[in-house]
Amino acid sequence: MTGTTQNSRSMVVEAFRVLNAPEAILPRDPIMVLCDGPPRGLFVLDPTIAGALLRSPLVVPTSGQRYYEVVSGLTREDFPVLSEALDRTPLSLNGNAHREARAKLTPLYRRVETKLELWIEGFCAEYLLDLRTRSRPDLVEAASDFSDRVSRGMAAAELGIHWQDLPPVPNEIFMLFPSATRLRDIEAKFSAIQQTVALRLKDEARDEEEFWPILTLMMMNRDAMQGTLMHLFSQLQGGLAPGSSGELALAATNVSLLQGREIIADCEIAGRTWRAGDVLYIAPYLLHRRDPPPKGIDFTFGAGPHACPGRKLSLRILDALITALRRDPLTERFFPHIPKLYRQIVLTAKP
């Protein structure tokens, strides 16, 4: 393992030690140095600085493909479909590559949004009906199941098929410390999705390249939706009525843990000097607790050129589920076991 790789791995461990630290002992400094480098690793603890960084085109998401290689010991040849998907995801690109990838994704989002009203209400009602048939429903599994169904439902609406015709989407795609075994499992499931979608596109005489924005749609929605629903279900179990989707998204930063960003050129942002190659960690979980976020910044969906393009779509889906729950609410103690969904959801990171 090279020194750079070892440093990258060590800074991830340190970032999660900060995330797991009791509030009373967290540093009050706006920036915490995790690793002197190379690369230099910094934990951003100030909401205003974090907001300015997210808005800048010189601050881009870290490469998911490279991160998975570092923490798993695998190479991209071991997970080619996932690697290709991450390479094509606009949130992982910058400059012209980012703009081109986003331009390919935006029409798909708009088509899905247009068709959403045709199926989302019945979809949510069907899901809740199925949920009530379970003898000992598990909160985490319930949230995961809905997220998987929605991911398949959006893609299925685009392809003109039923959501059950698509293979399941892997649970927790954007993992913190994925094992080689887990990555291979994700790769196998993505390969199954690719085969199914490719056949459908061929039958429809459509370009097989359309698979990649469809897979991006399924990937980008999955983990954020699951975390948000876990928070919603835990609120309901405490006897609290569901609020609006916007309020829920803001509150759900309790389970939106850590975002990795990288500086791509020497620059000055928020009155501070940053170096090309600096790796930044921004924790929505912490930022929303310390101070109100800067106006116009929602750390759940990000901000600036790399803000989540599916924000509108996600909120509409949440609205539909909240409406269904108000119409036919779950009992207050519907889930037998309620996990602690805040800092305790993250296990102490292991080197």
Q: What is the DSSP string of 18-82?
A: HHHS-GGGS--SSEEEEE-SSSPEEEE--HHHHHHHHH-TTEEEPPHHHHHHHHH---GGGSHHH
Q: Which pLDDT belongs to residue 341?
A: 45
Nearest by Cα to 217 from 255, 184, 169, 253:
169
Measured between alpha carbons, how far is 98 from 88 in angstroms, rounded to an integer?
A: 9
Q: Which pLDDT belongs to residue 242?
A: 64
| C-alpha torsion sign, points 19, 90, 193, 119 | positive
pLDDT per residue, tens digit, the chain (351 aa), is 455 667 777 787 788 778 777 777 777 889 999 988 788 999 999 988 998 998 898 998 888 888 788 778 899 999 999 999 888 888 777 778 888 888 888 899 899 999 999 999 999 999 999 999 998 888 888 988 999 999 999 999 999 999 999 999 987 777 667 789 989 999 999 999 999 999 999 999 999 999 999 998 898 777 777 777 877 787 776 666 666 666 665 655 555 567 889 999 999 999 999 999 999 998 877 776 666 666 666 676 777 788 778 778 888 888 888 888 888 888 878 888 766 544 333 333 333
Structure tokens belonging to residue 271: 């009155």
Task: Work out the number of other CB atoms within 10 angstroms of the CB of residue 60.
Answer: 20
Please name every residue paired with 31 in a beta bridge, in sequence order, or none if there are none. 44
Measured between alpha carbons, how far is 173 from 213 in angstroms, rounded to an integer?
A: 16
The conformation of residue 114, written as its DSSP 8-state character, comes to H
Q: Which residue has the tokens 């929303």?
A: 288
Measured between alpha carbons, how far is 187 from 79 in angstroms, rounded to an integer?
A: 5
Which CATH code of 1.10.10.970, 1.10.630.10, 4.10.490.10, 1.10.1060.10 fits the domain covering 3-345? 1.10.630.10
Measured between alpha carbons, how far is 82 from 62 in angstroms, rounded to an integer?
A: 15
Measured between alpha carbons, how far is 216 from 339 in angstroms, rounded to an integer?
A: 30
Structure tokens belonging to residue 80: 């080619």
Sorted by sequence, the CB contacts under 8 Å of residue 209 that are 6+ apart come out as: none
Asked if 85 and 190 count as a contact pair (C-beta separation under 8 A), the reply is: yes
Q: Which pLDDT belongs to residue 33?
A: 92
Task: Work out the number of other CB atoms within 10 angstroms of the CB of residue 226.
Answer: 23
Strand segments (E) across 74-209: none
**CA gyration radius, the chain:** 20
Asked if 15 and 343 count as a contact pair (C-beta separation under 8 A), the reply is: no
Q: Which pLDDT belongs to residue 153?
A: 94
Q: Which pLDDT belongs to residue 344?
A: 38
Q: Which pLDDT belongs to residue 284?
A: 77
Nearest by Cα to 34 from 72, 4, 65, 8:
8
The phi, psi pair for 272, rounded to 5°, reads: -125, 150
